[in-house]
Amino acid sequence: MPRVVVFDETGGPEVLHVVEEPGSEPAAGEVRVRIEAFAVNPLDRMVRAGQSPRPVRLPHARLGIEGTGVVDALGPGVTGLAVGDPVILSALPDFETRGAYAEYTTVPASRVVARPAGLDVVGAAALWVAYFTAYAALVEKAGMRPGDHVLITAASGGVGRAAIQVANQLGAVPLAVTRQTAKRDELLAAGAAAVIATDHEDVAESTRRHTGGAGADVVLDAVMGPGLAELSLAAKLGGDLVTVGWQDPRPASFPANPSLTIHRYMAFADMVEPAITGRVAAFLSAGVRTGALRPAVDRVFGLDDVVEAHRYSDRGPSAGKVVVRV
């Protein structure tokens, strides 16, 4: 029988275990996907640890908001897809009951997109969530344009690295923010036009230096917390600030730049919008084809080592996504 990762209580990585359960046939409008690989995301770890933003149905809950595989079966009425098509899961309804941490999952046909040609299975598993978030936040929300200076916090993380590449692909100028000077060369190699290390630099002052005194046109922030007020001073008057995460759990300070347009962006709300999903999928396919978009993968585990994959991910920011091959 197909294997699936489940948990019956919340807690550390050790609550995860692999079990066998009967497969299910896709209903009308659904497809069954044979999963080849999935990524470990911060939301997965939050749900597992009991910090989910919404209640989780226990026992026998599942994880996995991001994965790739091939279409294994079609439900009645599905068109435009065929058995054997390589796809990426674009959004999972009720992922805690039919998530990507499994050998098979069944989802609405509208929740898969074609896997970009030329992208291997591991890279495809690491692509969608980070790059969708980066593109949609910068372009759909903030209206980033060629030539814009874009300040990116938590630049070493998955969304940060994706944002650097997205900005470069569209002709913007990515300025990467990191807490550690030691990561400067790594981020420059990843495509940042400049790196601001907060262990010895002031963000606002350094941003003005790199932008001829004007400040950043767009700030992409995955941190929030008390530093938000200071960060807002790095933006130009009339600029845009988009928040895409909450790495600092403390209350966010009020932005000190009153002219900013502030966007609180939640990618999963847009992932169910066909028009936005279509634009993102086209952009990502073009970027992969030209080599402008290259998902960074830190480590790859096997399904039987999913507990160790979560332990590794829990240790903190890595040099790319943690991926599990199925």
Instruction: State the first-to-last Cα distance of the chain, in angstroms, to the nearest integer.
Output: 14
Q: Name residue 131's amino acid.
A: Y
Using one digit for the tens of pLDDT, what is the confidence trace for 189-210?
999 999 999 988 999 999 999 9
CB atoms under 10 Å from CB of 128, counted, come to 27
pTM of the model: 0.93
CATH topology of domain 3-127+295-325: Quinone Oxidoreductase; Chain A, domain 1 (3.90.180)
Beta-strand (E) ranges in 189-230? 194-197, 216-221
- pLDDT number for residue 250: 81
Rounded to the nearest 10°, the torsion over CA 178, 163, 37, 309 is 10
Domain ranges of the chain: 3-127+295-325, 129-268
- Report mean pLDDT in 10-residue bins for the chain, 326 residues: 96 97 93 97 92 85 96 97 97 84 96 94 96 96 97 93 97 95 93 94 95 97 84 94 83 79 86 92 96 94 98 85 96
The side-by-side arrangement of strands in the sheet containing 173-178 is: 194-197, 173-178, 149-152, 216-221, 235-243, 261-264
CATH topology of domain 129-268: Rossmann fold (3.40.50)
- pLDDT number for residue 111: 93
- pLDDT number for residue 239: 95
- pLDDT number for residue 51: 87
